[in-house]
Structure 1
Amino acid sequence: MSAQQAQAELIEEFSLFDNWMDRYQYIIDMGKQLPAFPEELKSAETKIHGCQSNVWIHHEREGETLHFLATSDAAIVSGLIAVLMRIYNDRAPAEIIATPPSFLEDLGLDKHLSPTRANGLHAMLKRIFTLAEQEKVTG
């Protein structure tokens, strides 16, 4: 499944919910399924600045793809991380760069997140895209 297909699938899943309370709960539930994040990876290098909550994103190159591990100390932010991981994790840097986050508008996240959460989401996206750009050059 491509990143574009992952976005389309996510949009379809969210369309099953009638209201935003149910969507928020779904996002939180997604966050609870994130893999464990090793404490030793919580460092200044992996911390995302611009988030109200504590957020860490670690990446490793695995062959042609980038594998991300990420976590937050906030439930809704962990869910937003899970959304991003579903779209961008284990993808080639070029595919990440070629997949703009159109799901933000399609899901209505741009309108339903608080300004601080939206800033944090954009900071996480910026980090993912920056890492993809760096790996594309060095890979």
Structure 2
Amino acid sequence: MAIDLEELVEDFSFFDDWEARYSYIIDLGKKLPPMPAEEMIEENKVRGCMSQVWMTSRVEGDPAIMRFNADSDAFIVKGLIAVLMQIYDGQSPADIAETDAMEALSRIGLESHISPNRRNGLVAMVERIRADAAAQLG
């Protein structure tokens, strides 16, 4: 697993308020590697997001792990992508299928601090990641 979910929860516990947590999320997004322009195409868009979000996945190695690349035109969404990458990138397809990111994000308190539209977009990104993993499992 790329990051232990407990570690993610602990990282967020260092911040006293949500303004600091939002800044942390945005900073995480700024550290994401840029997505190549040729991958920012219609077929790679994540449906259900208000902002534009593009995502690709690939399988590497033996045993197989999933690698994801994603980007958005919104800073906070790009940060949310970075959080999801900490949870899912580098995991096996089976581990991805068993990992409930929404439960971990709920423990951080994220669900109650983002708008319903952002939450819907976050759910859409998680569903896309898990669908890509499920496709690898057959």
Give the TM interval when normalised to the shorter protein.
over 0.9
User: How well do the aligned residues superpose, as a CA RMSD in angstroms?
Assistant: 1.0
Identity %: 48
Confirm whether residue 57 of structure 1 aligns to residue 55 of structure 2.
Answer: yes
Instruction: Kindly state the Cα deviation for residue 36 of structure 1 after the two structures are TM-superposed.
Output: 1.1
2:95 aligns to what SS in structure 1?
Answer: helix
Q: Show the counterpart of 1:124.
A: 125
Confirm whether residue 105 of structure 1 aligns to residue 106 of structure 2.
Answer: yes
1:49 aligns to what SS in structure 2?
Answer: coil
Confirm whether residue 83 of structure 1 aligns to residue 83 of structure 2.
Answer: yes
2:35 aligns to what SS in structure 1?
Answer: coil
2:34 aligns to what SS in structure 1?
Answer: coil
Q: How many residues align?
A: 135
Q: Show the counterpart of 1:17.
A: 15
Q: Show the counterpart of 1:114.
A: 115
**Separation of aligned partners in 1, 2:21 and 2:47:** 26
C-alpha distance after superposition, 1:7-59 (max 9, x if no partner): 11111010011100000000000000001100000122210111110000111
Q: Show the counterpart of 1:27.
A: 25
**Separation of aligned partners in 2, 1:8 and 1:46:** 30
Q: TM-score, structure 2 length as denominator? A: 0.94
1:45 aligns to what SS in structure 2?
Answer: helix
1:126 aligns to what SS in structure 2?
Answer: helix
Instruction: Kindly state the Cα deviation for residue 6 of structure 1 after the two structures are TM-superposed.
Output: 2.3
**Separation of aligned partners in 2, 1:136 and 1:35:** 27
Q: TM-score, structure 1 length as denominator? A: 0.94
1:66 aligns to what SS in structure 2?
Answer: strand
